[in-house]
């Protein structure tokens, strides 16, 4: 009897909420059918059946939150029986193993394989020493990610230490609890004055808050701003969009900016890097994270190998990712693993702003609005121009000011000679 | 500081206290004329006379009861059990009277009594003469129980015991009377309820008392050869028990092995394991393990006796097990 368990869709995911069941008890389902919609702290996902059969029982109803690894339904294969309702999975798994031990012939291949494979984390239980559990709490580590080297797969101190050492991203993403706790204690209590309302920050906002606090506190940021003349780019963009209109392509300014930022990184490899426990990890491929504002927060979907993609490809991907981000339908691998970020607030009429580095990345570019201003041309005459400010925030542990300035100059050169972005 | 034997340290403590305080006197079988079966009191009869060094009949219940009476009346008797095995005969006096008179009298009557003698085995004395009685006596409120292992601690704890207003069960490591160590001259006291860190280490805590402390120190040497730094805690005082030193150590090392000569069940090591899991649960990386004597009456034959007591190899092996380095 294959159980449908709450899947783990990202390192930080501890539980998911059933938004909606798309199949009802008694429905026949095929492997790959969408069973339900699930909400995690970051996205909404469609969950597919991993086996065919009858959806014999739904354990977790709509709106229910279920820890990762817990069963939410049973799919009954041919000739299989539904376990008693409410029977804990562990007991069921144990019983299956006992049957095997007694040499019961009824066991199908699946039955033989599954309980053993998943036994350690059946019902979400992981064998770990108390010390490991404490360290996991302090470092916000998901123990199901760690393989235990102790007896019966028990996770022991050396396992979690090794994990913490080799997963710097994991550690830098979320600050350790002790660091966060005293801060909360220092905050003033609510005034409770009339006309006030106390709102609990959402889970996403809390995570963003923690990460940004950590980034601001731990990364020595430096900033550099350039003003880019956008007239030529706007002219070229108009031309291209006219030509491409039939194909339904409409390039945005941000597509050009991302392409330029990615191309320029070819000469400044330091900035396309992750700051890890063991050193600066330089990345060849520019996996461009783009900040997308959501009603409930912010997410940064990633365009892989942004430097190697054409503008129209970047444009199509960006549009698709942004749309699905707003619908909460991104998969974890679509918003994890970026190496550089562009944050664009041009659409909001912002004259300039600075962004906080998204660790373990080491740089981010803040893109402001294009404004029309009078400027002097080469002859000294006052002419109208379209200008846009770019502000680089970079990690001083990795790069220095001059390098940042040279990088921005290269981005500016590419944007002011936009045909360079077409080759 | 001069180097002295365990035996000399013991005698020195009693001698100094007898010189300091006239109410201190000794009772026991063969302690006077013969000088003591283990020669602990040799020469003291000549020094202090037969009113203060009293040879008793072979009657543990009788002379222990007499000593309790003396203590209740203000003397400070130090009773020698030829071995602690004989104290079973006096157990009614010790448990029912010595431990309880102070409570019964609402604190009006104190029992400043020390009962001392060799405890445990290791010298081929077979089943009836090999008991380790620390958990037996450690069970009763009203008694203090100590089991020092170094000559310095023997002296310091004997002085503390004689000066204490309560009955003290003084368990000597009978197999170690001839071992030597530095002993401070003159006034030297060791408090009750304070363990000693016999060796500092960071990887695993070995908890023991009495003779097993030396075993743990040797095991720690062996472990050190493989880069494992074991911390050895000498409890010294069984009741009151220094929980803090043990917990502090385990919080540092995350692993503990508790070693005792007595049988495994209901022993001091079980108590240590229980306290560690209560107070350092979140610091443990492995279950607390016990190394204990075999569950049989102690055999006489040397080879069997060796098999029945904890060995250096066992301690090393179990230490490796809690470090998940099984060989």
Q: Is the pLDDT of residue A99 over 80?
A: no
Q: Is B217 a catalytic residue?
A: no
**Mean pLDDT of all residues in chain A?**
82
The domain at B196-322 falls in which architecture?
Answer: 3-Layer(aba) Sandwich (3.40)
DSSP type of residue B231: E
pLDDT tens string A54-69:
888 888 888 888 888 8
Local confidence band at A95 (pLDDT 50, 70, 90 cut-offs): very low
- ipTM value, please give it: 0.78
Per-domain residue ranges of chain B: 2-183, 196-322
Q: Is the pLDDT of residue A311 over 70?
A: yes
Please state the rounded mean pLDDT for residues A242-271: 93
| E strands, chain B, in order | 2-5, 24-28, 53-55, 76-80, 114-119, 144-146, 168-173, 180-183, 196-199, 204-208, 230-234, 237-239, 256-263, 289-293
Q: Extract the tokens encoding A70.
A: 């817990």
Sort out which chain B residues have CB atoms less than 8 A from A160's CB and list them.
none
C-beta of residue B268 within 8 angstroms of C-beta of residue B238: yes
Of A81-90, A329-338, B114-123, the poorest mean pLDDT is in: A81-90
* Cis peptide upstream of residue B325 (ω within 30 degrees of 0): no
Residue contact A156–B281, C-beta within 8 A? no
| pLDDT for position A278 | 87
Per-domain residue ranges of chain A: 3-124, 205-421
The domain at B2-183 falls in which architecture?
Answer: 3-Layer(aba) Sandwich (3.40)
| pLDDT for position B234 | 98
Residue contact B286–A129, C-beta within 8 A? yes
Task: Give per-10-residue mean pLDDT for chain B (327 aa).
Answer: 94 97 98 95 97 97 98 98 97 98 97 97 90 96 98 98 98 94 94 97 97 97 96 98 97 97 96 96 95 95 94 96 85
- Helices (H) and strands (E) in chain B — how many of each? 12, 14
| pLDDT for position A89 | 40
- Helices (H) and strands (E) in chain A — how many of each? 12, 18
Residue contact B285–A157, C-beta within 8 A? yes
Please state the rounded mean pLDDT for residues A254-260: 95
C-beta of residue B55 within 8 angstroms of C-beta of residue B49: no
Q: Is the pLDDT of residue A86 over 80?
A: no
Q: Is B221 a catalytic residue?
A: no
Q: Is the pLDDT of residue A102 over 50?
A: no
Sort out which chain A residues have CB atoms less than 8 A from B282's CB and list them.
130-131, 133-134
d(CA A234, CA A6): 48
Fold of A205-421: Chloramphenicol Acetyltransferase (3.30.559)
Q: Which residues pair with residue A128 across a beta bridge?
A: A155
Sort out which chain B residues have CB atoms less than 8 A from A132's CB and list them.
285
Q: Is the pLDDT of residue A208 over 50?
A: yes
| pLDDT for position A176 | 41
d(CA B16, CA B162): 11
| pLDDT for position A113 | 34
Q: Extract the tokens encoding B278.
A: 């209560």
| pLDDT for position A53 | 85
Local confidence band at A112 (pLDDT 50, 70, 90 cut-offs): very low
Chain B positions with Cβ closer than 8 Å to A? 254, 281-286, 324
Q: How many CB atoms lie within 10 A of CB A407?
A: 24
Q: Extract the tokens encoding B220.
A: 């720690």
Local confidence band at A167 (pLDDT 50, 70, 90 cut-offs): low
d(CA A186, CA A125): 35
Q: Is the pLDDT of residue A93 over 50?
A: no
Neighbour order of strands in the sheet with A71-76: A3-5, A71-76, A53-58, A28-29
Chains A and B: how many Cβ contacts under 8 Å? 27
| pLDDT for position A84 | 53
Residue contact A131–B282, C-beta within 8 A? yes
Report the gap between the CA of A70 and the closest CA in chain B (Å).
Answer: 25
Looking at domain A3-124, does it have CATH number 2.40.50.100?
yes
| pLDDT for position A203 | 75
């Amino acid at each position: 009897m294959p159980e449908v368990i709450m899947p783990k869709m990202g390192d930080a995911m501890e539980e998911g909420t059933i938004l909606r069941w798309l199949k009802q008890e008694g429905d026949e389902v095929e492997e790959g059918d969408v069973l339900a919609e699930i909400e995690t702290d970051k996205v909404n996902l469609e969950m597919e059946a991993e086996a065919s059969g009858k959806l014999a029982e739904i354990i977790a109803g709509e709106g229910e939150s279920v820890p990762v690894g817990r069963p939410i339904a049973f799919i009954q294969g041919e000739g299989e029986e539904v376990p008693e309702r409410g029977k804990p999975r562990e007991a069921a798994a144990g019983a299956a193993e006992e049957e095997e031990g007694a040499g019961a012939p009824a066991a199908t291949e699946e039955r033989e394989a599954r309980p053993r494979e998943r036994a350690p984390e059946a019902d979400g239980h992981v064998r770990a020493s108390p010390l490991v559990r404490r360290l996991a709490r302090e470092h916000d580590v998901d123990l199901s990610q760690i393989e235990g080297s102790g007896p019966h797969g028990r996770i022991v101190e050396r396992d979690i230490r090794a994990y913490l050492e080799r997963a710097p991203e994991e550690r830098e993403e979320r600050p350790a609890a002790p660091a966060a706790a005293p801060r909360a204690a220092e905050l003033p209590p609510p005034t409770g004055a009339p006309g006030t309302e106390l709102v609990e920050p959402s889970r996403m906002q809390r995570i963003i808050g923690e990460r940004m606090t950590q980034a601001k506190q731990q990364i020595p940021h430096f900033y550099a701003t350039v003003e880019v003349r956008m007239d030529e780019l706007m002219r070229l963009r108009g031309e291209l969009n006219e030509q491409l209109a039939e194909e339904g392509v409409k390039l945005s300014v941000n597509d050009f900016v991302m392409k330029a930022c990615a191309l320029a990184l070819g000469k400044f490899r330091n900035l396309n890097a992750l700051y890890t426990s063991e050193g600066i990890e330089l990345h060849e491929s520019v996996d461009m994270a783009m900040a997308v504002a959501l009603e409930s927060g912010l997410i940064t979907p990633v365009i892989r190998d942004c430097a190697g993609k054409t503008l129209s490809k970047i444009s199509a991907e960006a549009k698709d990712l942004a749309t699905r981000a707003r619908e909460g339908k991104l998969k974890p691998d679509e918003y994890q693993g970026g190496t550089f970020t562009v944050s664009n607030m041009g659409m909001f009429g912002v004259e300039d702003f600075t962004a906080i580095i998204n660790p373990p990345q080491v740089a981010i570019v803040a893109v402001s609005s294009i404004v029309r201003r009078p400027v002097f041309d080469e002859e000294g005459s006052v002419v109208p121009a379209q200008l846009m400010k770019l502000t680089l925030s970079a990690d001083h542990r990795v790069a220095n000011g001059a390098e940042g300035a040279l990088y921005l100059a290269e981005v500016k050169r590419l944007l002011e000679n936009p045909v360079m972005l077409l080759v | 500081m001069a180097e002295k034997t365990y035996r000399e340290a013991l005698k020195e403590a009693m001698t100094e206290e007898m010189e300091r305080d006239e109410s201190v006197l000794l009772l026991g079988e063969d302690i006077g004329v013969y000088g003591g079966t283990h020669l602990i009191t040799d020469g003291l009869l000549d020094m202090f006379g037969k009113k203060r060094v009293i040879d008793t009949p072979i009657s543990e219940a009788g002379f222990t009861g007499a000593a309790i009476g003396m203590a209740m009346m203000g003397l400070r008797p130090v009773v020698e059990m030829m071995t602690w095995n004989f104290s079973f005969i006096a157990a009614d006096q010790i448990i029912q009277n010595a431990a309880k008179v102070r409570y019964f009298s609402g604190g009006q009557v104190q029992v400043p009594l020390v009962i001392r003698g060799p405890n445990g085995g290791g010298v081929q004395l077979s089943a009836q003469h090999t008991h380790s009685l620390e958990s037996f006596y450690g069970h009763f409120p009203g008694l203090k129980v100590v089991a020092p292992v170094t000559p310095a601690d023997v002296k310091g704890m004997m002085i503390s015991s004689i000066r204490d207003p309560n009955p003290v069960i003084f368990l000597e490591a009978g197999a170690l009377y001839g071992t030597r160590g530095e002993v401070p001259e003159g006034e030297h006291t060791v408090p009750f309820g304070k363990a000693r860190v016999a060796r500092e280490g960071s990887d695993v805590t070995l908890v023991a008392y009495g003779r097993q402390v030396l075993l743990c120190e040797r095991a720690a040497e062996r472990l050190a050869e493989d880069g494992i730094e074991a911390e050895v805690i000498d409890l010294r005082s069984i009741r009151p028990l220094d929980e803090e030193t043990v917990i502090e150590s385990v919080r540092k090392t995350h692993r503990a092995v508790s070693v005792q000569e007595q049988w495994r069940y209901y022993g001091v090591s079980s108590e240590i394991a229980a306290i560690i899991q209560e107070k350092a649960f979140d610091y443990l990386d492995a279950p607390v393990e016990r190394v204990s004597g075999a569950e049989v009456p102690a055999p006489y034959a040397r080879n069997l006796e060796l098999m029945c007591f904890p060995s250096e190899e066992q301690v090393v092996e179990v230490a490796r097990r809690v470090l998940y380095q099984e060989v």
